[in-house]
Amino acid sequence: MKNSRVPSPEKAVQLFLEYLTVEKGLAPNTISAYSQDLAKFTQYLNQKKLFLSKIQEHEITFFIRQLSRRGLSPKTIARCLSSLKSFFRWMVLEGYLKKNPAASFSAPKAWKSLPEFLTVEEVEKLLRQPDLKTPVGLRDRALLELMYATGLRVSEVIELRVDDLRFDEGFLICRGKGNKERIVPVGQTALFHV
């Protein structure tokens, strides 16, 4: 092992999150999810007075059971387990551990829920909410029209720049997850409000 001294759970998590940010270039929301998941695990380790160097499979099993008893959904538990697997894989790569204690775990089956959608009446009611006599109302209406017309995520809309909109051509350039660019058509109604 290149590093004989295993850092504290808090320090290891901090280093791992820096690695995900700097070297992997993950999105802030993804980093936040890892941070929340690993904070739960760090809290568990501190409660049990456990060290990262001593973690074995059964400790991870107990942790997962604790999450389940707390009423977390299978989807949340699966994400947390995925975070742990990545974290311990990194610990091995960095030479802090010889073996990934989470490697043999498979995620619990989570039902894929169908996305919920608004009815036409609900969309119309939503679009009528902004006060078009105020600058804030005009802005809100433009954002709502843009999301409705394109299906963009809120996080994608707030990252748009003016030069991303191609009014004459009727499309915009969106940078989504992983900073990947895509061209999205935009209808005339949305363009009018923008």
Query: By the 8 A CB rule, do 102 and 37 touch?
Result: no
Query: By the 8 A CB rule, do 53 and 6 touch?
Result: yes
Q: What confidence score (pLDDT) does residue 89 get?
A: 95
pLDDT > 70? residue 39: yes
Query: By the 8 A CB rule, do 86 and 80 touch?
Result: no
pLDDT > 60? residue 21: yes
Query: By the 8 A CB rule, do 40 and 14 touch?
Result: no
Q: What confidence score (pLDDT) does residue 3 get?
A: 47
pLDDT > 80? residue 154: yes
Residue 102: exposure state from Cβ atoms within 10 A (0-12, 13-18, ≥19): buried
Encode pLDDT of 93-119 as tens digits: 999 999 999 988 876 565 566 677 888
Overall pTM surpassing 0.85 (yes/no): no
Give the domain ranges of the chain. Answer: 9-93, 120-193
Q: Which H or E element spans position 142?
A: helix 135-150
Tell me the average pLDDT across 159-178: 85
Name the phi and psi angles at 184, rounded to 5.
-125, 125
Q: What average pLDDT is seen over the chain?
A: 88
Residue 104: exposure state from Cβ atoms within 10 A (0-12, 13-18, ≥19): exposed
Q: What is the CATH number of domain 120-193?
A: 1.10.443.10
| Topology, domain 9-93 | DNA polymerase; domain 1 (1.10.150)
Bigger pLDDT: 173 vs 3: 173
Bigger pLDDT: 20 vs 114: 20
Q: What confidence score (pLDDT) does residue 134 get?
A: 95
Q: What confidence score (pLDDT) does residue 1 get?
A: 47
Query: By the 8 A CB rule, do 155 and 177 touch?
Result: no
Q: Please list, in sequence order, all residues whose beta carbon lies within 8 angstroms of the beta carbon of residue 88, skipping any fewer than 6 positions away.
A: 55, 97, 100, 101, 102, 103
Give me 32's structure tokens: 């936040």
In the structure, what pLDDT confidence band is assigned to residue 167 with cuts at 50, 70 and 90?
A: confident
**Minimum mean pLDDT among 103-107, 138-142, 143-147: which range?**
103-107
